[in-house]
Amino acid sequence: MGKQRILQNMEGYALSEFGKNLKDCTSKEKYIALSKSTMQELVPNWIKSNEKFEGKKQAYYLSAEFLMGRALTNNLINMKLKSEVEEILEEIDVNYNVIEEAEDDAGLGNGGLGRLAACFLDSGATLDLPLTGYGLRYEFGIFKQTFEDGFQKEQGDNWLEHGDPWSIRRDDEAVIVSFSNGDVLAVPYDTPIIGYGQNTINTLRLWKSEALNNFDFEEFNNQNYHQSVKEKNDAETISKVLYPNDSNDEGKKLRLKQQYFFVSASLQDLIRKHKEKYSSFDNFSELHSIQLNDTHPAVAIPELMRILTINENLSWDKAWGIVVESFAYTNHTLLAEALEQWPVHLYQSLLPTIYDIIVKIDTQLKKELNAKGIKDEELADYEIISGDCIKMAWMSIYGTSSTNGVAQLHTNLLIESELTKWYKLFPERFNNKTNGITQRRWLLQSNPELSNYITKHLGNDDWITNLTELKKLEKLGDDKGVLEDFVNIKQSKKNQLADYIEEHEGIKIDRNSIFDIQIKRLHEYKRQLLKAFYILDLYYRLKEEPGFDIHPRTFIFGAKAAPGYFRAKGIIKYINEIAKLINNDKDINGKIKVVFVENYRVSYAEKLFPAADVSEQISTAGKEASGTGNMKFMLNGAPTIGTYDGANVEIVAEAGEKNNFIFGLRVEDIEKIKDSYNPKEEYEKVKGLKRVVDTLIDGTFTDGDTGMFAELHDSIFKGASWHRPDQYFLMKDFDSYRQAQQKVNEAYQDRLAWAKKCWINMANAGKFSSDRTIKQYADEIWKISKS
């Protein structure tokens, strides 16, 4: 890709797209011109890449989310063109960083589930494996978050406002998806997934919903203007917004439409392509491995049965064999409320044929169970249709050949408790695939300073595609010069983050303070509230205990609460109230600062992970399936303060408990005390705890008469109809957490000893590459291989 050609392409796009010379374009327009120029260069390789896998078994990743983040820098890095492009732009007096910031984050995901899917696609392409992603092309992301008087406010995330230069619309491969109340058109948009080195370019195919008839001229002519575009509006609603509020039936119906829409379109796509080359389905499962990323796409099981038995006239038994052999299922949760269930009446009204097929699947399951000696009175534990609900997790286990957890502890708990009866039925189907992250984005892209330093000491950049190479750096953990350089790199990333926070949040932070960061989806089990209680206790102690002192600490939060999640929004408001109190109190001499960053997203995360001194992973033991944020912090050299939960267990096993700060109840401890636990006992006896918890109800802070804070208080001491008091053991773990934080404070005083902990964590992060995870999926579940 020559310099002259890049400039010519950019000039051409500037003229044809915007009617301007390149030098007169806005930053956004220059970004689009550069992106389209890059696409022009990579498409021929993309076509070749698709061709080289023809006739071979391929894997397909069905996911409701793909949290891709910005594409430009990631793509240029994987094409090994970033430095060249920066030089070209510099020659024409264009700042690459300004162009990079002009790109919107793709609004296609919310949390770890979607970011994991994005990492997996990157790894699949880098490993030269045929892996295609299928999902929804949401017009609006979950939402843009702002704070108004400390309350979360949601605004539309119109990430497609200026178009998407990285996708290609494929009208020739559109399909029709049918609901009981009408048909809609599913139009595919293809995005290239570029493997590092560009040897393989895979595809993310996202479906946009459109009307078969966009405009009813007769209705318009009769002056029924709204009715004339009703079909268009109804159809486009399906792919309008990621995770619409489903607190009522209309919202639930829209979510179900979304799930079925992208699943049906994807399976029709696979069937069409198969039939173009083969006259039977005897070899379908030999050529297709379809991974269900949690239960959102579980309706794929009855949908493929519908296609094979009704459309293609296969016998039920033959079709069922193909379905089970083709599908695999990833479980992402141990939370009972997150094991997806659907009201029967929604399926009956919206997808009656699919419901009839689910009834047949359920009946078949019961016959199989009877044949295995399970009595009728025990069938309730396995029924897919139970009462008024359809249990999607049960269907996912029964209708697939593989069920995997996403961390060893998580998988063990699935086998030993949550899904133990299913495990006894199908022990050969259960396996573990510990999650991973792509080092291309979370180190090479987000922390080039550390990346260059690693390459310098390894003598090569093999770690970019083989992260276990980092282990060779462990021996440098006692080298004073190396550690001092390492500290300086960390400080440079802290300075960059401090600048960004000052610019975007209007808050000035102490660059030499401990950057203590908790960034993840806002949920009670992740226990942002525990950290809030600790911060407030720390504040009171600093004010009232003359002999008490700490190294300055900046506590940084980043999280979005689902629009209908009242408690989670209450926690955000509470943390912002604490921030207002502390940040405006000059008596504590800036010892503590609290920052809740607005609109946490991938591009913000790329600045936060490299700058962290402390990684907060404080979920209730047994509740976090894996976590991947913990891995990103580790890779960038931040020790974990956390519970023995999810992938924290494996992080500690790799880097050593002495290099991290583990606290709190473990799964076995919770099991022993859960039936007798009384949070009031801890609340009364732990010094300082009562005072901070009471601020929820004693008027210290205001929740604007919403009742949010009282409801949070009640959740701890009264519980609710659906849970016992303090179900996430905030009171029980508070003192242990406080002690672990004191150890952090003490350990940080010896800067080189602290740097060694950080270095050892980074050097032992090799296991947590998504390259390793995907290779395990490819070898053990999908049975796919390189071209």
DSSP string covering 100-148: HHHSPPB-S--SHHHHHHHHHHHHHHHTT--EEEEEE--SBEEEEEEEE
pLDDT tops 80 at residue 534: yes
Res. 215 pLDDT band, cuts 50 70 90: low
Assess whether 526 carries a catalytic annotation: yes
Please report the pLDDT score of residue 785 as a whole number.
96
Q: pLDDT tier at 787 (50, 70, 90 boundaries)?
A: confident
**Residue 225: predicted pLDDT:** 60
Kindly state the average pLDDT of the residues 462-480: 98
Report in angstroms the alpha-carbon separations of 32 from 12, 22, 72, 92, 102.
12, 11, 10, 17, 9
H helix runs in 459-551, sequence order: 480-505, 528-544
- CB-count burial class (<10 Å; 0-12, 13-18, 19+) for 642: buried
Task: Choose the catalytic residue: 240, 441, 493, 520.
Answer: 520
Task: Say whether pLDDT at 6 is over 70.
Answer: yes
Q: If you average pLDDT over residues 358-383, what whole number do you get?
A: 95
Q: What is the pLDDT of residue 383?
A: 96
What is the arithmetic mean of pLDDT over 609-616?
98
Distance CA 737, CA 516 (A): 14
Bridge partners (DSSP) listed for residue 292 = 62, 329
Whether the CB-CB separation of 320 and 364 falls below 8 Å is answered with yes
The catalytic residue among 208, 526, 593, 623 is 526
| % of the chain beyond a pLDDT of 90 | 92
Q: How far is CA 780 from CA 117, 359, 412, 582, in A?
A: 18, 31, 18, 52
pLDDT band at 2 (very low <50, low <70, confident <90, very high): low
Give 98-153 pLDDT, tens digit per residue. 999 999 999 899 889 999 999 999 999 999 999 999 999 999 998 999 999 999 99
Of residues 137, 332, 493, 569, which has the active-site annotation?
A: 332
Q: Give me the architecture of the 479-774 domain, per CATH.
A: 3-Layer(aba) Sandwich (3.40)
| pLDDT, averaged across the chain | 96
Angstrom distances, CA of residue 259 to CA of 33, 262, 294, 741: 34, 6, 12, 43
Q: Give 483 or 216, the one with higher predicted confidence.
A: 483
Q: Where are the domains of the chain?
A: 479-774
Report the amino acid identity of residue 472: K
Q: How many percent of the chain have pLDDT more than 70?
A: 98
pLDDT band at 223 (very low <50, low <70, confident <90, very high): confident
Q: Is the pLDDT of residue 229 over 80?
A: no
Band (213; pLDDT cuts 50, 70, 90) = confident
Q: Which residues of 675-708 are buried (b: 16+ CB within 10 A; e: fewer)?
A: eebebeebbeebebbeebbebbeeeebebeeeeb
Q: Is 521 a catalytic residue?
A: yes
Residue 338: per-residue pLDDT = 72
Q: In this predicted structure, what is the pLDDT of residue 326?
A: 98
**In what helix (H) or strand (E) does residue 208 lie, and over which residues does it extend?**
strand 201-210
pLDDT band at 244 (very low <50, low <70, confident <90, very high): confident
For 631-641, what is the mean pLDDT?
Answer: 98
Within 8 A by CB and 6+ apart from 240, the residues are 138, 139, 140
Residue 149, H or E segment: none
Predicted confidence (pLDDT) at residue 607 exceeds the cutoff of 90:
yes
CB 626 within 8 A of CB 434: yes
Query: Residue 227 has what pLDDT?
Result: 75
pLDDT (average), residues 36-64: 96
3-class SS of residue 442 = helix
Q: State the pLDDT at residue 107.
A: 84
345 is catalytic: no
Q: What pLDDT sits at residue 246? A: 82
pTM: 0.96
pLDDT number for residue 546:
86
Q: CA 149, 154, 160: angle at the middle one, nearest 5? A: 140
User: What is the C-alpha separation between 202 and 47, in angstroms, rounded?
Assistant: 9
Catalytic residue flag (residue 632):
yes
> What mean pLDDT comes out for the span 269-275?
98
pLDDT given at position 217: 64
- Residue listed under structure tokens 């639930």: 252
Strand, helix or coil at 517?
Answer: strand
d(CA 209, CA 149): 37
C-beta atoms surrounding 306 within 10 Å: 19
Give helix then strand counts, H and E, for the chain. Answer: 33, 21
What is the structure's pLDDT at 732? Answer: 98
Q: Is residue 228 scored above 70 in pLDDT?
A: no
pLDDT digits (tens, 9 = 90+) for 736-755: 999 999 999 999 999 999 99
pLDDT band per the 50, 70, 90 thresholds, residue 207:
very high
Catalytic residue among 628, 640, 643, 695: 628
440 catalytic? Reply is: no
Average pLDDT on 715-733 reads 97
pLDDT at residue 187, as a whole number: 98
Other C-beta atoms lying within 10 Å of the C-beta of residue 465: 17
Q: How confident is the model at residue 1, as a pLDDT?
A: 60
Sole residue written with tokens 């009839």:
356
3-class SS of residue 659: helix
Compute the distance between CA of residue 665 and CA of residue 643 in angstroms, rounded to an integer. Answer: 7
pLDDT at 245: 79
Among candidate residues 257, 521, 593, 757, the one labeled active-site is 521
CA atoms within 13 A on the CB side of 243: 21
Mean pLDDT of 264-272: 98
Q: How confident is the model at residue 231 (pLDDT cuts 50, 70, 90)?
A: confident
- Contact between 62 and 292 under an 8 Å Cβ cutoff? The reply is yes
How far apart are alpha carbons 290 and 404 in whole angstroms?
A: 14
Is 523 part of the annotated catalytic residue set? no
